[in-house]
């Protein structure tokens, strides 16, 4: 542990560095402890990198990608034996199977001549990607719009400025005064702990909603749009995101509310035909059987605890990317996205 900030101490300067290269280690904000305590930890081994990802101390698909990229560069500097290095990288790569950004970033770093330079480039590109996503979404958010969002997609989730939540904060800074309804996101409460906190710190009108109240919120609170992030998107537009997203999309469709997904090009897995091919991580029953540190079910209770679900493409109104808004038919618009250059190519020519 490098730093701890208790309640009442402004932690935003630390949170702006969700993940950073520290020479001999990767430093990261432990997201499990927010909003009550801000703790920056150090990962120096493959085991510590893997543990940080598996335990959700580091989470959010783009952030995991940045973290994994720096981690591989660090491991290469530590491990000269190729077989041992490959084994260490495999541990990190497989730490979370659903989020495609982790594998994408690691493979990109492995192919580079200078791994650290490439990892730093991925991090810098993510900041630019987030900015462009927010700008692209501006036309979708009207002044004083009521927005429903789920899980957490802010700075801590991307190591930049955020995807879905970044678009909301961008609208707020532009003077649009959005009203945001935040799904708590059981079982680990990323919405309640992280999104609500980030919005209130920014002075945005935010209301916390238990997940089971999403339907009545859309029915009675005049929600104008739903916007969420993504962990993996197949080339037909089927989208894996935090568990509960599929249900929200169904509810939004019933109430004829636009349902948007904000995600970078790196989250699109062009190798997968549809959502049927997306692996879904299943986590410990203990996460469901407890609420925080309090047990709410009998010891040894059985629980089904998928970390993600897949929203079918026909429930998604549009995708917001760094290249603009993608609309149906997704077989065509996502195919066009695949032909776009990586952000690295764009930044190198700008």
- d(Cα 214, Cα 247) in Å, to the nearest integer? 9
Burial of residue 346 (CB within 10 Å: 0-12, 13-18, 19+) is middle
Tell me how many helices (H) and strands (E) the chain has: 15, 17
- d(Cα 342, Cα 145) in Å, to the nearest integer? 32
Higher pLDDT, 87 or 290: 87
pLDDT value at residue 2: 46
pLDDT at 189 over 50: yes
pLDDT at 234 over 50: yes
pLDDT value at residue 3: 45
pLDDT value at residue 341: 81
**Selected catalytic residue, list 30, 130, 211, 231:** 231
pLDDT at 4 over 80: no
The predicted model gives 144-162 an average pLDDT of 94
- Please identify which residue in the block is written with the tokens 């997609």: 153
User: How many CA atoms lie within 13 Å of 297's alpha carbon, on the beta-carbon side?
Assistant: 11
Active site residue 231: yes
The predicted model gives 272-279 an average pLDDT of 96
Domains of the chain (ranges; CATH) run 3-124 (1.20.120.420), 128-349 (3.40.50.10470)
pLDDT value at residue 348: 60
pLDDT value at residue 346: 63
What's the order of all strands across the beta sheet hosting 3-5? 3-5, 38-43, 26-29, 19-21
What's the token pair of residue 329? Answer: 């038919």
pLDDT value at residue 349: 57
Higher pLDDT, 259 or 18: 259
pLDDT at 14 over 80: no
pLDDT value at residue 219: 97
The predicted model gives 114-133 an average pLDDT of 94
Q: Across all residues in the chain, what is the average pLDDT?
A: 91
Q: How confident is the model at residue 12 (pLDDT cuts 50, 70, 90)?
A: very low
Burial of residue 6 (CB within 10 Å: 0-12, 13-18, 19+) is exposed
What's the token pair of residue 277? Answer: 């091919």
Lowest-pLDDT choice from 142-146, 245-249, 294-298? 294-298
Q: Where are the alpha helices (DSSP H) in 188-329?
A: 190, 196-201, 214-220, 245-254, 286-289
- Please identify which residue in the block is written with the tokens 């990767």: 26
The predicted model gives 83-96 an average pLDDT of 94
pTM metric for this prediction: 0.88
């Amino acid at each position: 542990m490098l730093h701890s900030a208790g309640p009442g101490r402004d932690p935003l300067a630390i949170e702006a560095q969700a993940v950073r290269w520290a020479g001999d280690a990767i430093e990261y904000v432990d997201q499990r402890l927010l909003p009550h305590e801000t703790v920056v930890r150090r990962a120096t081994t493959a085991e510590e990198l893997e543990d940080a990802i598996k335990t959700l101390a580091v989470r959010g698909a783009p952030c995991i990608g940045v973290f994994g990229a720096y981690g591989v560069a660090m491991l290469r500097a530590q491990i000269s034996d190729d077989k041992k290095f490959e084994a260490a990288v495999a541990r990190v790569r497989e730490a979370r199977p659903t989020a495609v950004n982790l594998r994408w970033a690691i493979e990109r770093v492995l192919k580079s001549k200078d791994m650290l330079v490439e990892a730093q480039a991925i991090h810098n590109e993510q900041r630019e990607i987030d900015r462009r996503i927010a700008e692209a979404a501006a036309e979708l958010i009207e002044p004083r719009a009521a927005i429903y969002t789920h899980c957490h997609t802010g700075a801590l989730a991307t190591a930049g400025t955020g995807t879905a939540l970044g678009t909301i904060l961008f609208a707020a800074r532009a003077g649009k005064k959005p009203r945001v309804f935040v799904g708590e996101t059981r079982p680990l409460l990323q919405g309640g702990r992280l999104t609500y906190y980030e919005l209130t710190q920014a002075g945005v009108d935010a209301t916390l909603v238990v997940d089971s109240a999403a339907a009545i919120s859309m029915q009675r609170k005049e929600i104008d749009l739903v916007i969420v992030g993504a962990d993996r998107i197949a080339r037909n537009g089927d989208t894996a995101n935090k568990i509960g997203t599929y249900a929200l999309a169904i509810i939004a469709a019933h109430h004829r509310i636009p349902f948007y997904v904000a995600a970078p090009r790196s989250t699109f897995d062009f190798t997968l035909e549809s959502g049927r091919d997306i692996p879904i991580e299943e986590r410990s029953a203990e996460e469901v059987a407890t609420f925080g540190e309090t047990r709410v079910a009998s010891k040894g209770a059985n629980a089904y605890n998928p970390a993600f679900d897949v929203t079918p493409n026909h429930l998604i109104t549009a995708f917001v990317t760094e290249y603009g808004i993608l609309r149906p038919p997704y077989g065509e618009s996502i195919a066009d996205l695949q032909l776009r250059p990586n952000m690295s190519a764009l930044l190198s020519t700008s």
